[in-house]
Amino acid sequence: MKYRTLGNTDLKLSAVTFGAWATGGWMWGGTEQNNSVDAIRAAFDHGVTSIDTAPVYGQGLSEKIVGEAISSIPREKLQILTKFGLRWDTDKGHFRFASVDNDGNPIDVHEYAAKESIIRECEQSLRRLDTDYIDLYQIHWPDPTTPIEETMEAVSRLKEQGKVREAAVCNYNVEQMKESDNYINIASNQVPYSMLRRDIEEDIVPYCVEHGKGILAYSPLQRGLLTGKMEAGQDFAEGDARPESPYYSDENIRRTNAFLDNIRPIAEKHDATLAQLTIQWTIQQPGITIALVGARNVEQATQNAGAADIELTEEEITAINSELDKLELDLS
């Protein structure tokens, strides 16, 4: 495993970080708790020391499962990353979308990052995770109803109290990052990034590189699409949100698989799976600090961790990028 310092902090994270969205089951068609606990522990056994979760993932379930999984691991050997600012239990803030919980009950998700809400969320996360502090505390999405100053001052208070080591943002644009830095040191920005989604290369990556900010790439496997294991007519479980995205149309799955077939020889040269090749490509991209990768079982967790053992040459990355330039997806 490779370990990387996050931005201008002294926080070190594993280059492959366990992404625990699917662990909560929400929007992934459910979860199996024992499998998830075993997956997290297997990842740690293979060098993955960092785990990223959020309260909204399963409405607290993901954090509880992470808390159970890490209960037998010395806390100082782990870096726990969680979030705040997406509430499903209040109508305050900005309405983001309607959904259902794991039991099929309707919920409305709101972006809300007012001071009292952040303090409350932090206490709840600490309790669910069964820990005294959070290594990286990230606002999940921008809240247009709360001044950034108020949000960041609340996180500053939590840092002063020792409940949070470092502050970060997710899904922020450059202007929002600049403003946040006026009130607290922002360690990183967690944003979607994959072979199929590279828009952050235009502005966020250059800004973060210039200003010493880390980038946490989420969905590097495009929620499974870049594993090569999906087929046209894919059968998704009830409650899985992927069919609602154009990335998972039958035609886009076919086009993506054709691209993957073209780069498969590179994976085979490294005795790696396509997923491992994709993960390693991600963490070798300029400005990318770590890749957040989910796993539903021990086998997936072990394979994901193994991606860090690959080292792609410049020629191989160029060859992959050349194939990417030919790939056209219909995202309309």
Q: How many CB atoms lie within 10 A of CB 250?
A: 12
What number of CA atoms fall less than 13 Å from residue 332's CA on the CB side?
2
Distance CA 142, CA 172 (A): 6
φ and ψ of 94, to 5 deg: -105, 120
Q: How many CB atoms lie within 10 A of CB 305?
A: 25
Distance CA 204, CA 289 (A): 13
Taken in order 168, 83, 86, 301, the sign of the CA dihedral is positive
Residue 138 structure tokens: 């990230």
57 tagged catalytic = yes
Distance CA 25, CA 30 (A): 4
Question: To which residue do tokens 């400005």 refer?
Answer: 287
Q: Which of 57, 183, 207, 218 is catalytic?
A: 57
160 burial (CB, 10 Å; 0-12 / 13-18 / 19+) is exposed
Q: Please, where are the H alpha helices in the chain?
A: 33-45, 61-69, 115-129, 148-160, 174-180, 204-211, 250-269, 274-283, 298-306, 314-326
Query: Angle 61-69/115-129 helices, nearest 10 degrees?
Result: 40
Question: To which residue do tokens 């459910």 refer?
Answer: 30
Contact yes or no for 167/182 (Cβ under 8 A): no
Q: Which residues are catalytic?
A: 57
